[in-house]
Structure 1
Amino acid sequence: MAYQLTFFCRSDEENGQAAISRLLDELLPAGDLLLTERPGPFVDEVAVCSLATRGPAGDPVADRLTLEVHVGVAWVAESVIAASLGDEQGIWGCDLLATFTLSGDAPDWSLVNRIWTALVRLWSATPWDEMSGFKVAKSMPQIEAVRTSPRIRWGWLLQGASAEAQLIPAGADAPGRLAGSSVGRAGAPR
Structure 2
Amino acid sequence: MELLDAQKIQLFFIFAVPGMIALYVRAQFLDGKIPDFKVGLATYVAISLIYHAIWFLIAPGMYAVKVVSANGCEKVGWVFIEFIGPAILGVVSGINVRKQWLRKFLAKFGLTTVHPVASAWDWKFSGVPESWVLVVLKDGKQWGGVLSEKSFISSTSKERDIFIEKVYEIKKSGKWVGRDSGVLITHQQIQTIEFWPKG
- TM-score range (shorter-chain normalised) is under 0.3
Greater length-normalized contact order (CA 8 Å, ≥ 6 residues apart): 1
TM-score by length of structure 1 reads 0.25
Structure with a larger share of its residues in strand: 1
Structure with a larger share of its residues in helix: 2
